[in-house]
Structure 1
Amino acid sequence: MLSFLEASDTSIDDVGAHLKKMVEIGIALSAEKNIDTLFDMIVEEARALAMADSGTLYILDRDRNVLSFKILQNNSLGLHLKRTENAEILLPDVDLYHGESPNYENASSFAALQGKILNIPDVYASTTFDFTGPMKYDSVTGYRSQSMLVIPMKNHENEVIGVLQLLNAQEVESGRVVPFGDRCVSLVEALASQAAVALTNRQLIQEIKKLFYSFIETIAGAIDEKSPNTGDHIKRVVKITMALAMAVNESNQGLFKEHFFDDEEMEELRLSAWMHDVGKITTPEYVMDKSTRLESKFDRIHLIETRFSLIAEIVEKQYLEKQVKLLQSRETSSDIFLELEKARKENLSSIHEDLAFIKTCHRAEFVNDKMIHRLNKIAEKQYIVSGKIQPFLDPWELENLSIQKGSLNETERHIIENHATMTLKMLSCLPFPKNLSRVTDFAASHHERLNGTGYPRKLKGDALPLQARIIAIADIFEALSARDRPYRKRMEISHIFEIMGKMKENGHIDPDLFDLFVRSDIGKKVKL
């Protein structure tokens, strides 16, 4: 008795049923997004069509010139084995070449190289190919390989992308192993063609996605490399972002108990984190690297040092000239000379003290009102050079030395903050697909605050998406915990949480997310 597909009484209804099944299979294969699940479906559906007891799928690896094992299904042995990135290879890959010579001894390699279907009634009786592999497998497992169907899978360009190998076609009623019939071969060939198209589409999508992410990571790396002080900032923000998102998914209490990011949402969030600082590509390096108050394209403290050295020389010269005049006028009273010398020393000492104070303000973490008052007094002092009256400090120097916290003046702070606006503008120009349509909003909103005092759009409350709030916390924590910030030393976790706790109280960051961040111990789990 022949298999069901070869039965002489196959009716038009049966043929219609097979065609309907092929359409259903084609739709299912095309709709499947997970490539490992797609591998499983290909073998499972091929086995079902051919009534095959076992099936194996190999995918062509052009870089290594091998057929790479992916899936093995064997009903009799109850096996369902697959190759994963971390698992040991359960079946060996098949070399397409021995040196420079094509490997025609192996049936799967021959089918791949020649693009031909092989239908072998009994592998033990075959003298065309080397079946020591299946025979060795049989001796270990107790299985008996008999009929074999090997079909090359070809893409839309008629290139072989893999090989589907089926073993032991069975009669429907008796289960007896029989050769694969011609109609069965045609159906499986059609399935292999559909599967190759679906697989090629999925591989192309993966390759495009890989290319896109590689490009994004390259841009992110270039942005980080603009400054030696922000190296790997973006990469670390991505790591913290995804750790916090996973904590949301695993949370079984509070507001996040019912919230869960699916795979597409996680991908959208990951991409948003990678792109959150893309606008910094327009930020000047000297602003990003400004570690002290007088630093610009060069550190102007050196200019002030030179100026004060000149002022001291001028003062020395002025007192020397006074001494010469006294001698010429023959007013040689020792008291006059002593007073003059005392005045000279006091004047020079004042100049040196002023310079030392300026240097202190230049690098101080905070400059208070009292310090600013003294800076203003210094700036009021003048000296004359080449007949022109000059101030001890010019307006730009006074403005920057008077910065109370940090090293950026108002203009520079606006330049830094503009990177969020540029991120919004740049990403708004990109035609993101539907599943990534919110990347722009998430990425550009990481400096927004819940109370509406953030930038660039001053979003607040419910207008600020959860994903943007996650990136905001990741960005703040990374900035505070990083070893390489120019304007301060790395902080201890306790101090970081103290600062972020105040930000929570002041409505800057999401309080529930921050509590989850602390409770999940993400700060210690994520190695920065």
Structure 2
Amino acid sequence: MAKDPKGKASKPAKTQSADKSKKSAKAPLVHEHVAGDCALATGVPGHDDAESRADALNKFEAELNKREVDLIEREIKSLRQQEELDRLRPLSGLYRVVRAMASERRLDSLLDVITRETQVMLKCDRCSVFVLDAQAAELWTQVAQGLVGHRMIRIPVGGNSIVAECARTGRMINIPDAYQDPRFDPAVDRNTGYQTSSVLCVPMLARGGEVIGVFQVLNKFDGPFTNEDEDWLEGLTAVAAGLIEQAQAYGEIERFVDKTLETLAQTIDQRDPLTAGHSIRVTNYSLLVGQAMNVPDDDIDVLRYSAMMHDYGKIGVPEKILWKDGRLTPDEYATVQKHASITYDLLSNLPFTRRLQDVPFVASCHHEKVDGSGYYRGLKGDDIPFLSRIIAVADVFDALTSKRHYRNRMPIEKVSEIMYNGRDNHFDSTCVDAFFQLPSARVIAVLESERERAANFDAELFKNLSWQRLVELVSGGHPKRGEEGIAEVFDRIYNAGLPADYQSLD
């Protein structure tokens, strides 16, 4: 065996040649295999690769077509679902309006719900519910959704408006183009800045068939109002008419109860001319505080009736004690204290509804103190009804700022000192703080409302001033820009009509 220069044995030439021969022998077998595969794929032995590519493209195109069909089918399904949703949306709105029967008793709140849901149902820009005032021969709407800045509209039934005609005739009116209809008055748009296009009016009928109002919807978003819109609005109007009749009846009952309780309260106040108006003022102060503290509507009613009747038990206190000039003796004061328990006993005999059943208890707790030193139950802290804690603040404030047999009005800075010093011992501090943040113009309006010689005052002067800030100015605080002279004006208002020999209780 020959060796290479590096000393390694080299392969024989015969062997190398044999290897080459083996490699060259295998190559044709590979080509034949590929060609066979192509032939099997195309069906034609040795067919060109172009047909394979064409077949692959055909398969790809078929897959694209299948996916496109699937996409179209999904789109059709989605459109059908949307159509179904559009068809059911008015039914959903109708359900929400009906459900409002259980939660909305007041007419203004009910009208707000109805108009809002009608806009959603009919896909329109505006809805108004006009209620017939038969005595005034007018149609009025308290809520006109979308009409910014207008909360009350009144239309004569005998007028030329479309709404009035709908009410007079009791027939539906559907106008595709308002400006092409002679019944439409363009002055309405000029006055409001609105542009009316389509109009649909449907009369509301009472159970007896008489017209009690009109539904008016304006400017459908996608064209004129359709027959389907008419059907939906007629259905909604039938439901709304019953709800509105119910709300009107509830309002009449509520006004009767209000006036009855107010008369009873004034009967007690009138026993002593110096306390006349006390219950009404306490009620108004209490409502101001309650609204500022976001007391719910149902609780606001309890607050109003409780504040109005808080002193009703004084009917059991002898007039010689109520009218006494000078301070009361301990025994006399003990007699006066009994009025709280008498209030509870008397009010408990009245048939208050379930919603107002807390009135006797709340009214009788207005002399309780948060530290437990009040009367007549000696309740403490959160055991005292929250509404009673509001009334306590209003009651003391009115007592201190009113003339009594043994003193004149107390200086307002002294009143404020007593109120602040009573925080967290006599009063709930949050109620005191809420009172002092009230707009001073509203406090002054109540303060002067029942005076024999009510002083006129410019409410605009006090419009942006809280009661706390007014007290600071009256107490000698430095006025900011625009506050100059306010303390002097208030002093004239507060002391108007007081005797020349005025002496306050220090």
RMSD (Å), alpha carbons: 4.0
For residues 108-119 of structure 1, what are the structure 2 equivalents within 5 Å? 108-119=163-174
CA distance in 1, matches of 2:186, 2:249: 33
1:150 is matched with which residue? Answer: 201
Residue 151 of structure 1 aligns with an amino acid whose one-letter code is V
Measure, in 2, the Cα distance between the counterparts of 1:166 and 1:499: 56
Structure 1 position 123, deviation (Å)? 5.0
What is the CA distance between 1:152 and its match in structure 2?
A: 0.5
| Stretches of structure 1 lacking an aligned partner (at least 5 in a row) | 1-8, 74-78, 98-102, 250-259, 293-405
Distance 1:136 1:263 in 2: 35
Partner of 1:290: 324
1:95 to 126, 144, 156: 156
Matches within 5 A, 1:156-195: 156-167=207-218, 175=222, 177-178=223-224, 180-181=226-227, 183-195=228-240
Distance 2:246 2:443 in 1: 36
CA distance in structure 1 between the aligned counterparts of 2:250 and 2:136, rounded to whole angstroms: 22
Q: CA deviation at 1:520?
A: 4.6
2:399 counterpart of 1:482: no
Partner of 1:268: 302
For 2:189, which of 114, 137, 140 is the aligned residue? Answer: 137
Corresponding position of 2:458? none
Structure 2 contact 389–431 (Cα < 8 Å) conserved: no
Q: 1:125 to 1:465 in 2, by over 3 A?
A: closer
1:444 match = 364
2:273 alignment partner, SS class = coil
- 1:222 aligned to 2:303? no
Are the structure 2 counterparts of residues 71 and 497 from structure 1 closer, same or farther at C-alpha, using a change threshold of 3 Å? closer
Aligned residues: 365
TM superposition shift of 1:191: 0.7
Task: Tell me: CA distance 1:168–1:83, structure 2 relative to 1, closer, same or farther (3 Å).
Answer: closer
Mapped contact 2:107–2:251 kept (Cα < 8 A): no
Partners in 2 of 1:434 and 1:142 — Cα distance? 45
- Indicate which of 277, 283, 297 corresponds to 1:232: 277
The amino acid of 2:409's aligned partner reads R
In structure 2, what is the Cα distance between the partners aligned to 1:523 and 1:152?
A: 45
What do residues 127-149 of structure 1 show as CA deviations (whole Å, max 9, x unaligned)? xxx42404773899684635x43
CA distance in structure 1 between the aligned counterparts of 2:206 and 2:86, rounded to whole angstroms: 26
Correspondence for 1:196 among 241, 261, 266: 241
Paired residues of 1:54 and 1:167 also in contact (CA < 8 A)? yes
State the match for 1:68 in structure 2.
140
The equivalences for 1:474-513 within 5 A come to 474-483=394-403, 485-496=404-415, 507=425, 509-510=426-427, 512=429
Q: Percent identity among equivalent residues? A: 30
What is the rounded CA distance, in whole Å, between the counterparts of 1:497 and 1:138 in structure 2?
A: 51
Instruction: Give the CA deviation at 1:109.
Output: 1.7
In the aligned structure 1, how far is the partner of 2:281 from the partner of 2:307?
10
Q: Distance in 1 between matches of 2:134 and 2:147?
A: 26
Q: Give 1:435 deviation, angstroms.
A: 3.8
Equivalents in 1 of 2:430, 2:81: separation in Å? 64
218-227 or 113-122, which deviates more: 113-122
SS at match of 1:149: strand
Q: Which range is displaced more, 114-123 or 13-22?
A: 13-22
Are the counterparts in 2 of residues 149 and 180 from structure 1 also a CA contact under 8 Å?
Answer: no
SS in 2 for 1:486: coil
Query: Is residue 2:144 matched to residue 1:83?
Result: no
Q: Deviations over 1:343-376 (max 9, x none)?
A: xxxxxxxxxxxxxxxxxxxxxxxxxxxxxxxxxx
Does the C-alpha gap of structure 1 residues 40 and 232 become closer, same or farther in structure 2, counting only changes over 3 Å? closer
The 1:134/1:212 distance shift into structure 2, 3 A limit, reads same
Task: Tell me which residue corresponds to 2:258.
Answer: 213
Q: Is the 8 Å Cα contact of residues 144 and 151 (structure 2) preserved in structure 1?
A: no
The structure having more radius of gyration, on CA atoms, is: 2
Shift of 1:272: 1.6
In the other structure, the counterpart of 2:95 is 24
Deviation of 1:178 after TM superposition, in Å, equals 4.0
Cα shift at 1:179: 5.7
Is the 2:423–2:429 contact (alpha carbons within 8 Å) kept by the matching residues of 1?
no
SS at 1:261 equivalent: coil
- For structure 2, the 5+ residue unaligned runs are 1-79, 448-506
Distance 1:439 1:10, change over 3 A: same
- Specify the code of the residue in structure 2 equivalent to 1:131: R
SS in 1 for 2:217: strand
Instruction: State the Cα distance separating 1:238 from its structure 2 match.
Output: 2.4
SS at match of 2:202: strand
The amino acid that maps onto 1:24 is: Y
Native 8 Å contact 2:302 2:359 kept in 1: yes
User: For residues 461 and 59 of structure 1, do their structure 2 counterparts lie closer, same or farther at Cα, with a shift above 3 Å needed?
Assistant: closer
2: CA distance between counterparts of 1:441 and 1:168?
Answer: 52
* Corresponding residue SS for 1:266: helix
Greater Cα shift, 446-455 or 271-280: 446-455
The Cα of 1:216 is off from its aligned counterpart by 1.8
Q: CA deviation at 1:413?
A: 3.6
Q: Secondary structure at the match of 1:131?
A: coil
Q: CA deviation at 1:58?
A: 2.0
Q: 1:279 aligns with which of 305, 313, 336?
A: 313
SS at match of 1:229: helix
Report the counterpart of residue 349 of structure 2 in structure 1: 429
Are residues 22 and 229 of structure 1, via their aligned partners in 2, closer, same or farther at CA, if it must alter by over 3 Å?
closer
Distance 1:139 1:453 in 2: 61
Q: C-alpha offsets along residues 14-52 of structure 1, whole Å, 9 cap, x if unaligned?
A: 898368436524434424526445434434444444454
